[in-house]
Amino acid sequence: MLNKSYKHIIFDFDGVLAETNYIRFEGFELLFKDYPSDQVNRLVQYAMNNGGISRYEKIRLFFEQIRQESISDDRVQFLAKRYSDLVKEKVADAEPVRGSLEFLNRYHRDYDFAVVSGSDQEELREVCRLRKIDHFFVEILGSPTAKELNIAFLLAKTGWDKKECLFVGDSINDYEAAQKNDIDFLARNAGLTDWGSVKALSVLNDLSELDSFLKGE
């Protein structure tokens, strides 16, 4: 049973605050549209199973593991920038996860909020600004730094008590990042992860249920 006396809530972004997961997948299809479709499909499937992994790692995996060819750091950076150009506007305009805006507006004075995402940090901050939600968060952290390291950085910088922290995510990678930092995790069912395989885990369909969860209802 999770402790409900939280003071600090950390959110993933894609699939938790905004319905953007499929925009991300489509972005890889567009980025690699000139490559064999079976290879691109393998990358998209990997992305669907590993939502918390950064685009930098996914681009490198596409070349080194799927295509079996080397890729330079400069090329990874170039392709990551192209990817951002393909998706940023769509992500900024995407529908919010049901209940997310209402929760942020209602409770931003009662809790400390932060975002830790696998999305590119510069892009993520710009997207949050465009969506007019950036002011809700103490920190907005993203890749290329790994999610578990960003959570550790956030906890060290703020001095937040781990027992008073909750991480809300929608992927196994999110769950593992919370576990490695010894903080509680709450899953949002975005339709990509079989949360039934993770024992004793609380799962919400969307953030309209977060209020009741925190009240222990």
Q: 58-92 pLDDT, tens per residue? A: 999 999 999 999 999 999 999 999 999 999 999 99
* Same domain (yes/no): 39, 139: no
Cα(184)–Cα(164) distance, integer angstroms:
9
* Same domain (yes/no): 41, 145: no
**CB–CB of 131/141 below 8 Å?**
no
Q: Residue 113 CA to chain centroid, in angstroms?
A: 14
* Same domain (yes/no): 156, 179: yes
- Per-residue confidence (pLDDT) for residue 196, from 0 to 100: 86
Q: Which domain holds residue 71?
A: 21-93
* Same domain (yes/no): 47, 80: yes
- Per-residue confidence (pLDDT) for residue 197, from 0 to 100: 83
* Same domain (yes/no): 154, 76: no
Please give the structure tokens belonging to residue 212.
């009741």
Please state, as a whole number, how many other Cβ atoms lie within 10 Å of the Cβ of residue 206: 16
Task: Give residue 217's pLDDT band: very low, low, confident or very high (50, 70, 90).
Answer: low
Residue 51 falls within a domain, yes or no? yes
* Same domain (yes/no): 89, 128: no
What one-letter code names the amino acid at 19?
Answer: E
Residue 3 falls within a domain, yes or no? no
Q: Residue 55 CA to chain centroid, in angstroms?
A: 12
Q: Indicate if the pLDDT at residue 2 is higher than 60.
A: no
Please name the residue that has the structure tokens 């009662």. 110
What mean pLDDT is predicted for residues 149-171? Answer: 97
* Same domain (yes/no): 204, 185: yes
Task: Give residue 4's pLDDT band: very low, low, confident or very high (50, 70, 90).
Answer: low
What mean pLDDT is predicted for residues 174-188? Answer: 96
Q: Indicate if the pLDDT at residue 51 is higher than 50.
A: yes
- Per-residue confidence (pLDDT) for residue 179, from 0 to 100: 96
What mean pLDDT is predicted for residues 85-108? Answer: 96
* Same domain (yes/no): 108, 139: yes
Beta strand ranges found along the chain (DSSP E): 8-11, 112-120, 137-143, 165-169, 184-188, 203-204
Residue ending a domain, among 67, 93, 119, is: 93
Cα(65)–Cα(165) distance, integer angstroms:
36
* Same domain (yes/no): 73, 35: yes
Residue 107 falls within a domain, yes or no? yes
